[in-house]
């Protein structure tokens, strides 16, 4: 085990930490909620808000952990605060020379995966981390990594709000100023929470729902259609030869194509249904209440509309389309049929709508 070094600004860092007067305080719902969200988004059983004191690691909030604190020298988070600008990821602690013989790793049910996003004071001091952990090896994808970093910023705002509230309590004689400051911080936190919720379900480039949001919508629509015996169609669309567009015209032009296509889809689905960016140049479409023929006509209209978008270069799309099976279906099955139909359209020459026949 390699013991963590102490930051060069250790004295100033400890002074900043203690200014928040949060060590050894009681549990608070706001912090508990953050670790619950972090564990859920990262699909792990354990998460904590960890603060690194002089010789110990203390947990303000924790999920799936028994201890309320550990020694600093055995702390993963004490390593994470050494690089405040980045998330520390340890895919498999048993293979990492810093941690392989760490007691938190070697004990029964010990840690394997760890990711910690540093918590920064207003002066940039790393106070601790928001971290997620598992007893099996793993890694965060890009969306989970971004969500963990966003949540760590939320914790920093909560800490700052505590500090400000403490200072404001010393100035109760100036009631108007006191109330205005609290309202401003409350509004700021609400805006940050709204931004975080939006980030977890929206594609940042196109503004369309992302893959995760579409998966939730598809699952709900499938269950509802089966229960109500209503038709449901699903389409998967891919921009033909998109790599060539990027290679010949540059990624800025490629992004413009994605944005313009997203605008077209948004106008098509403003009344009902949903269009989402599934990833890369692939989009997905949900047609609740639409028959297969109705969905096919709409897909044909979209395909033809793409061809005349004012982009200054030729663009076409291939679309795979399917419908809910009469005897019911799962979200996974209906999506796979639509995806298979997309690849059939691409193999068949592209720039066409291919309908998947039900087995």
Catalytic positions, written as ranges:
281
Q: What is the rounded CA–CA span in Å between residue 325 and residue 235? A: 14
* CA-closest candidate to residue 62, choices 39, 82, 84: 39
251 is written with which tokens? 């990624």
Q: Secondary structure of the chain: what % helix, strand, coil (to 5)?
A: 45, 20, 35
CA 208 to chain centre: 15
- 9 secondary structure, DSSP code: T
Contact criterion met (CB below 8 Å) for 260 and 282 = no
CA 139 to chain centre: 14
Q: In a 3-state reduction of DSSP, which class is residue 138?
A: coil
Alpha-carbon separation of residue 234 from 183, 250, 264, 272 (angstroms):
45, 31, 17, 13
DSSP string for 267-313: HHTSSSSEEEEEETTEEEEEEET--HHHHHHHHHHHHHHHHT-SSSS
Contact criterion met (CB below 8 Å) for 218 and 335 = yes
32 is written with which tokens? 């508990």
């Amino acid at each position: 085990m390699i013991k963590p070094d102490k930051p060069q600004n250790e004295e100033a860092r400890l002074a900043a930490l203690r200014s928040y007067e949060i060590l050894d305080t009681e549990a608070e719902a706001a912090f508990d909620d953050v670790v619950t969200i972090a564990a859920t988004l990262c699909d792990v059983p354990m998460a904590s808000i960890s603060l690194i004191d002089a010789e110990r690691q203390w947990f303000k909030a924790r999920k799936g952990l028994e201890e309320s604190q550990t020694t600093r020298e055995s702390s993963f988070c004490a390593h994470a605060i050494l690089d405040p600008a980045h998330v520390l990821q340890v895919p498999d602690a048993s293979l990492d020379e810093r941690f392989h013989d760490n007691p938190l790793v070697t004990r029964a049910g010990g840690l394997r995966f760890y990711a910690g996003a540093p918590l920064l004071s207003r002066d940039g001091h790393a106070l601790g981390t928001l971290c997620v952990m598992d007893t099996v090896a793993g890694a965060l994808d890009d969306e989970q990594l971004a969500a963990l970093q966003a949540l760590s910023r939320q914790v920093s705002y909560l800490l700052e709000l505590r500090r400000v509230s403490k200072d404001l309590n010393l100035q109760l004689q100036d009631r108007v100023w006191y109330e205005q400051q609290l309202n401003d911080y409350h509004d700021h936190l609400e805006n940050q929470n709204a931004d975080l919720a939006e980030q977890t379900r929206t594609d940042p480039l196109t503004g369309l729902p992302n893959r995760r949001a579409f998966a939730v919508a598809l699952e709900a629509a499938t269950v509802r259609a089966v229960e109500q015996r209503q038709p449901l169609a699903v389409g998967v669309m891919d921009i033909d030869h998109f790599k060539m567009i990027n290679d010949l015209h540059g990624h800025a032009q490629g992004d413009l194509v994605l944005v313009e296509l997203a605008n077209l889809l948004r106008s098509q689905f403003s009344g009902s249904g949903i269009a989402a960016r599934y990833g890369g140049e692939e989009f997905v479409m949900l047609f609740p209440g639409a028959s297969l023929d109705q969905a096919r006509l709409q897909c044909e209209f979209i395909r033809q509309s793409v061809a005349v978008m004012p982009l200054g270069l030729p663009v076409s799309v291939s679309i795979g389309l399917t419908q809910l099976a009469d005897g019911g279906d799962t979200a996974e099955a209906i999506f796979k049929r639509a995806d298979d139909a997309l690849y059939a359209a691409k193999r068949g020459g592209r720039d066409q709508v291919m309908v998947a026949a039900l087995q």
